[in-house]
Amino acid sequence: MTAPYLSLKPLVPWKQLSRPLDWEAVFGRRAPLELEIGCGNGEVLVRRALAEPGVNLVGLDHGWPSARRALRRINLAGAANAKVLQAEADLTLERLFGERSLSRAWCFFPRPWPKPRHEPRRLLSRRFLRLLNSRLARGASCTMVTDRRSYLEWSLAQAQGSGLEASWQERPPGLDSKYERKWQGEGQEVFYELTLVKREHVSWPVPEEPVLHYPLITKLDPARLEVFEHWGETPVMCKDVLFDAASGRGMLRMVVLEEGLEQAFYLELLPAEGGHVLRPAPGCGVLPSLGVQMALELVAERLSA
């Protein structure tokens, strides 16, 4: 049986909050704000939270299994100054943190994606570092530790033009994290620490989220309810459809790809006065964006008789 997370109180319900988040309200106090990108099981996050009670710490991880384990550690330790965010790193920095809001950031053993064709998936890209720069306060820093010299060298190259001054050093084991113990167990005794210090500000405003317009389809053609792919500047894909002719209700499973943001969600087709209305299904937690509006309009156009 999976160990329980004990309480969801440390989990930040960011989809229900106005963005960027009011972190003072989230923590219930004003304090320096730090972010651990890829907090995994939360062991490093919790140790720092207990050692620095005057700091507000946010642990970020995309996967629920990692977020769940981090929640459990926070709850067991009673680390009231630690919170967990379950989201993508790009989305988190761009939408949930305002400019100059972070006093420090950490990233331990990011996935290296060593094959050349996987380079676009690496975390510390030039785009990401410029975004990170905008969220760091003046003189603040980000520390990254990796087991791969090749990833260090790639990250150093990406830091050029980011407004972040890069320096690095070899370091012995000392984090006592899951992946450090793993590599140490395989015989590795030297790791690489990259420090990025903000020297000049790169502006990156929090994107304005549009008010979505829900199309009214005055004459619906159910025969056109089918999967499709639209490969334009913003790719939009309909992966699956369901339609109940008796009630006139339908569901479409959508994927929209925007720069730094990938969203999967359902669109709901409902009978309405004058036809059918198309809207994001409640509970999907979709972020309002121009890509989502495009998906609504593309589907409405296809379904109109």
- Using 50, 70 and 90 to split pLDDT, how confident is the model at 242? very high
pLDDT at 3: 75
Tens of pLDDT, residues 70-119: 999 999 999 999 999 999 999 999 999 999 999 999 999 999 999 989 99
pLDDT tens track for 128-142: 999 999 999 999 999
298: confidence class by pLDDT, cuts 50, 70, 90: very high
pLDDT at residue 290 is higher than 80: yes
Count Cβ atoms below 10 Å from residue 101 Cβ, excluding itself.
Answer: 18
Asked whether the predicted pLDDT for residue 284 surpasses 90, the reply is no
- Is it true that the peptide bond before 173 is cis, omega within 30 degrees of 0? no
What is the distance between the alpha carbons of residues 184 and 171, in angstroms, rounded to a whole number? 12
> What average pLDDT does this structure show over 17-28?
97
| Confidence (pLDDT) at 252 | 97
Task: Quickly list DSSP for 104-126.
Answer: EEEEES-----SGGGGGG-SS-H
266 and 241 Cβ atoms separated by less than 8 Å: no
